[in-house]
Every structure is written in structure tokens, then in C-alpha cells.
């Protein structure tokens, strides 16, 4: 199976096709509903975002608290559709890839094509299994949001399926 | 003289009542929260294992493998099956001959808080639905029922919201055909599509009032998947067949395994109506029960 590493380049993701399975190693950042709302607000007000978004991979995930002796708790993907409202402005700010579960709106498919970004799926409802691919987890921003804080995750061979490729082809079509 | 007699009668009644302390309820709820969130229900796991060899779609089979492996890891390492440890719904079946000493509702909420903290489960509850603030562990949703006897049955059902968001309610005309009801249930699953972690277990409530049909749809999820106890077994089996033809499959990427079971609860209703509610559960249908 194909292995990819961060930082991902545009050229690299352009070579990935819808439906293809890949293993990702490197750094990704969690962000879900409340963080998306806040990042979008900051961008609209021309303020600095809590993390630099350029070239980043965003993972739609709010993990369970870290049990003693573990790196992270359960950490599967949440429903991507809820982020659609905020995704175009994040893409404009340079995010390269998103990881989540389920469908995206037509507008997002178009935006992904326009910005030559990529949308990955990962095993839905398998948070315990996915925790095994995380090597380090640090809360880096919006810590007051609890599970919705931004976590910086270092992953190794994190399993992904290309859900929407840079050409705007969706696995659900 | 009359007063003394009345007092004696009261005392004899009290003696018949079995007393359960609220603290005992708290501790049991605490234990059930951890169990429900880390040990996948036996009947659900069994249906996943039944579906796996029958699935002909290669990718679907691989995802089913991951789901079964996930349940194994969660149980072994006492990790949450899913990071969305849900909004716990607690069902209390209270025997009419019980006296609870202490504050029952507080005990349930306290038990959830303790269980979720102890089990490293996620705090997903916000105290105001409109002015959303930092999430906490309670309050939970509590359903009580008064039953005969002197026992207290507690069931904890953590409801993840990926699938809760896909709930549907329709008030049919009383003249609606069963076919139309079936189509509505299948359509609800189709609408949920790939987004709510299929393969699903579909809870259906038919009858009562609008609110009661929703309650029944939720309660239906407590019953063992594909149990023989159902009053509408045939209808359930037909729906399973129909839904599994939708080719949604695990993660919505195709396959024959779209639902693991359909559980229907029915109740009498009004001559003018036919409420039908559909409450879908993701493949991680979690609940745990115990009787005090």
C-alpha cells in the first residue's frame, strides 16, 4: 500500500486517486465544529488564526481523555458534513487535506477541486483501533474547548481512503 | 384510638417496601457507563460476525474486520469503543414496592459523572443548547417507568450524535398502508447514508403519540438485535432485507451489510393517527443494564 508523509506537497496529492488506500505518517491537527467556527471568524476579521493553516492536514476528531499510560484516548473521525459551512475559507487559507467520515456537499467538492486539496476517509466508529496509530498528542490551541481543542497529532501509518481527490471526484458518486 | 390504628397500618406498609439507597444507584450507574462504552454488546458483535463471512464486497469486509478488531481492542484495553461516548440515556424501571432513600436523579447524574471520569470517557454535554459553553458530563436524559415488584432495573444507553442527528418522525394518516411505513423507515436509512457509521441498527417506534413514538424508537435499541421476542418479527425481517439492498454498506462505501437489525416497538394509538419514529444507531450500539 502507498505510504505518504507530511509535509504533503501539492504534486504528491495530485497523484492520489479517489478510492485509493494510503497510509499517512507525520503531523496532523484535530479540529471540529467549534474550532471551525472560531477559525472562520478569525479569518473573516483578518486576525491571526490559532494555528498556521498553510499546508496542514485537518482531522475532524474530538478524542476521549487520555487514560493513564496511554498516548491518547479513543480518536475516530466525526461527521465531516457539519464542517462544510466553514471549509471553503480554510481551503483558501491553504489547508491541503481533511480527514473525516461521510459525504461532503457539492460546494465542498467544487472547492476541493478549485484549491487542489484532498479529502480522506478513515475507519468510522473505530476510535480505539485508530488510537494505535498515534505516537504523540499535544493540545495546542483552544484548550478551554475540552475535547474540541486543537490537538497536534503525530501519526504513523494512519489508514486513509481517498474520499474526494484533487480532480473533484467523490467516492460516493 | 383511630390515629393509633392508622399509624400501625402505615408502618406495616413501610415494612413491605424495599429500601434502596441512592448511593447504591449512583455506584451502579457509574459501573454501567464504563461497561457500556468499552464492551460492545454481545448481540451486536455476534451480528457483525454473522455479516462478515456473508459480505462479498472486498472493501466492506475489510471495514468489518476493522470494526471487530476495534471492539476487541476497546474491551482489552478498557478504551472507549468510539470517541463519541454520547449523551447517556438512562432508563429506570422502578418497582412500585421500592423506596429510594436519597435523591434519585442526582444519584443518576453523579453516577454518570463518576463513571465517565473514571473510564476516561468524553465530556460531550453542554449545559445550554443555544449558548454553548465548555462541555461537561451531565445532566443526562432519564426515562422512568413504574413497574410491579420491588426491584430497580437500570439501563445506560450512550447515544452518539452522528446517528442521533439522523432521527426521523412522521405522523402518518391512520389509513396509511404498511408499505408506506416500510418505505419511510428505509428512506430514513437512505438519508443517513454513509454519514452515521453504518452498518446500522435501526430502532423504530410505531404508535402512541409523537413523543412516545420517539421514545419507543429509542427503547427498541435496547432489545437484543434479531431477538425472537419481537411482536412484529416478520416486518422486522422484511425491513432488514430491504435495507440491505440499498448498497450503502460499511462506511457507506458499498456492500450488503447496511444494517445489522431492525428493532420495532409498537403501542396502541389514536383513531386519527399513526406516529412512526426512526432512531438509527451506528454499528457501535452500546448499552449495559443491571437490576438492583
- As a whole number, mean pLDDT of residues B78-107 equals 97
How far apart are alpha carbons A47 and B250 in whole angstroms? 41
Helix (H, G, I), strand (E, B) or coil at B220: helix
pLDDT score for B132: 82
Place of cell 436519597: B102
Residue B132: list chain A partners with CB under 8 A: 34
Distance from CA of A57 to the nearest CA of B (A): 20
A127 near B120, Cβ under 8 Å?
A: no
Average pLDDT over residues B62-88: 97
pLDDT of the residue at B1:
46
pLDDT attached to residue B134: 83
Q: Give the span between the Cα atoms of B138 and B121, in whole angstroms.
A: 12
- Write down the pLDDT at residue B227: 82
Q: Which of B73, B84, B197 sits opposite A129 (nearest CB)?
A: B73
Q: Which has the higher per-residue pLDDT, B48 or B9? A: B48
A112/chain B closest Cα distance in angstroms: 19
The answer to whether residues A162 and A17 touch, using CB atoms and an 8 Å cutoff, is yes
The region of weakest confidence among B5-19, B202-216, B231-245 is B5-19
Q: Quick one: cell of B81?
A: 469503543
Task: Determine, for residues B82 and A123 on separate chains, whether the beta-carbon distance falls below 8 Å.
Answer: no
> pLDDT digit string (tens) for B140-193?
999 999 999 999 999 999 999 999 999 999 999 999 999 999 999 999 999 999
Q: What is the mean pLDDT of residues B31-47?
A: 98
Burial class (CB in 10 A: 0-12, 13-18, 19+), B232: middle
A64 in reach of chain B (CB within 8 A): yes
pLDDT for residue B3: 54
- Distance in angstroms (rounded) separating the CA atoms of residues A38 and B255: 38
For chain A, the average pLDDT equals 97
Q: Any idea which residue has 454481545 for its cell?
A: B42
Q: What pLDDT sits at residue B16?
A: 72
- Nearest-by-Cβ selection for A63 from B69, B83, B196: B83
Residue B8, pLDDT > 80, answer no
- What the block records as the C-alpha cell of B183 is 418505505
The answer to whether the CB atoms of B78 and A102 lie below 8 A apart is no
Encode pLDDT of A14-24 as tens digits.
Answer: 999 999 999 99
Is any Cβ of chain A less than 8 angstroms from the Cβ of B68?
Answer: no
Please give the pLDDT value at position B15.
Answer: 58
Q: B124 to chain A: which residues are within 8 Å by CB?
A: 62, 147
- Residue B68 has a pLDDT of 98
Mean pLDDT of A35-41: 97
pLDDT at B138: 94
What pLDDT band is residue B229 in, cutting at 50, 70 and 90?
A: confident
Q: How many CB atoms lie within 10 A of CB B229?
A: 8
- Contacts within 8 Å (CB) and 24+ apart, B3-7: none
Domains of chain A by start residue, with CATH: 2-164 (3.20.130.10)
Q: A1 — contact with chain B (CB < 8 Å)?
A: no
Tell if the CB–CB gap between A64 and B252 is shorter than 8 Å: no
Of the two residues B15 and A85, the one the predictor is more confident about is A85
pLDDT tens figures, B161-175 = 999 999 999 999 999
> Which of residues 119 through 158 in chain A touch B, CB cutoff 8 A?
121, 123-129, 131-132, 144-148
d(CA A159, CA A118): 15
C-alpha cell read off for B245: 439492498
CB contacts < 8 Å between A and B, how many? 126
Q: Determine the Cα–Cα distance for residues B59 and B73; give it in Å rounded to an integer.
A: 21
Q: What pLDDT shows up at residue B14?
A: 55
CB-nearest to A64 from B80, B197, B282 is B80
How much is the average pLDDT of A28-55?
96
Mean pLDDT, to the nearest integer, of A108-137? Answer: 98
Which residues on B lie below 8 Å from A137 (Cβ)?
Answer: none
What pLDDT sits at residue B22?
97
- pLDDT for the residue numbered B37: 98
**B139 shares contact with chain A (CB less than 8 Å):** no
Residue in chain A nearest B123 by alpha carbon: A147
Question: Which active-site residues of A does the annotation give?
Answer: 36
Neighbours of A11 (CB within 10 A): 8
* Helix, coil or strand: residue B157: strand
Residues of B in contact with A69 (CB under 8 A): none
Amino acid at each position: 500500500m502507498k505510504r505518504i508523509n507530511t509535509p504533503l506537497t501539492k504534486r504528491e496529492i495530485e497523484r492520489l486517486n479517489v478510492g485509493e488506500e494510503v497510509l499517512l505518517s507525520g503531523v496532523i491537527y484535530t479540529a471540529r465544529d467549534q474550532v471551525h467556527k472560531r477559525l472562520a471568524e478569525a479569518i473573516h476579521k483578518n486576525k491571526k488564526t490559532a494555528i498556521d493553516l498553510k499546508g496542514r492536514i485537518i482531522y475532524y476528531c474530538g478524542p476521549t481523555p487520555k487514560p493513564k499510560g496511554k498516548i491518547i484516548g479513543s480518536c475516530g473521525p466525526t461527521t465531516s458534513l457539519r464542517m462544510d459551512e466553514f471549509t471553503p475559507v480554510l481551503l483558501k487559507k491553504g489547508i491541503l487535506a481533511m480527514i473525516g467520515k461521510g459525504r461532503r456537499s457539492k460546494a465542498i467538492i467544487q472547492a476541493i477541486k478549485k484549491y487542489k486539496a484532498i479529502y480522506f476517509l478513515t475507519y468510522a466508529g473505530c476510535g480505539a483501533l485508530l488510537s494505535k496509530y498515534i505516537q504523540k498528542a499535544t493540545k495546542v490551541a483552544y484548550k478551554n474547548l475540552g475535547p474540541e481543542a486543537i490537538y497536534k497529532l503525530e501519526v504513523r501509518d494512519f489508514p486513509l481512503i481517498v474520499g474526494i481527490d484533487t480532480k473533484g471526484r467523490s467516492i460516493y458518486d | 384510638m383511630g390515629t393509633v390504628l392508622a399509624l400501625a397500618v402505615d408502618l406495616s406498609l413501610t415494612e413491605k417496601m424495599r429500601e434502596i439507597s441512592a448511593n447504591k444507584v449512583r455506584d451502579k450507574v457509574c459501573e454501567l457507563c464504563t461497561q457500556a462504552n468499552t464492551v460492545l454488546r454481545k448481540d451486536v458483535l455476534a451480528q457483525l460476525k454473522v455479516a462478515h463471512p456473508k459480505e462479498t464486497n472486498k472493501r466492506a469486509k475489510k471495514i468489518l474486520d476493522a470494526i471487530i478488531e476495534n471492539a476487541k481492542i476497546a474491551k482489552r484495553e478498557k478504551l472507549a469503543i468510539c470517541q463519541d461516548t454520547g449523551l447517556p440515556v438512562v432508563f429506570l424501571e422502578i418497582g412500585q414496592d421500592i423506596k429510594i432513600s436519597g435523591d434519585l436523579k442526582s444519584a443518576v447524574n453523579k453516577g454518570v459523572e463518576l463513571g465517565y471520569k473514571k473510564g476516561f470517557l468524553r465530556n460531550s454535554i453542554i449545559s445550554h443548547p443555544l449558548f454553548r459553553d465548555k462541555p461537561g458530563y451531565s445532566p443526562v436524559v432519564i426515562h422512568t417507568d413504574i413497574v410491579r415488584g420491588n426491584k430497580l432495573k437500570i439501563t445506560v444507553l450512550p447515544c452518539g450524535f452522528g446517528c442521533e442527528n439522523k432521527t426521523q418522525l412522521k405522523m402518518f394518516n391512520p389509513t396509511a398502508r404498511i408499505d408506506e411505513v416500510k418505505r419511510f423507515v428505509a428512506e430514513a436509512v437512505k438519508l443517513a447514508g454513509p454519514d452515521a457509521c453504518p452498518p446500522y441498527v435501526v430502532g423504530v417506534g410505531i404508535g402512541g403519540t409523537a413523543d412516545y413514538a420517539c421514545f419507543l424508537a429509542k427503547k427498541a435499541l435496547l432489545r437484543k438485535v434479531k431477538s425472537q421476542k419481537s411482536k412484529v418479527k416478520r416486518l422486522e425481517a422484511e425491513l432488514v432485507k430491504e435495507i440491505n439492498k440499498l448498497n450503502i454498506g460499511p462506511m457507506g462505501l458499498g456492500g450488503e451489510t447496511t444494517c445489522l437489525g431492525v428493532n420495532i416497538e409498537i403501542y396502541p394509538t389514536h383513531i386519527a393517527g399513526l406516529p412512526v419514529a426512526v432512531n438509527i444507531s451506528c454499528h457501535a450500539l452500546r448499552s449495559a443494564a443491571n437490576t438492583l
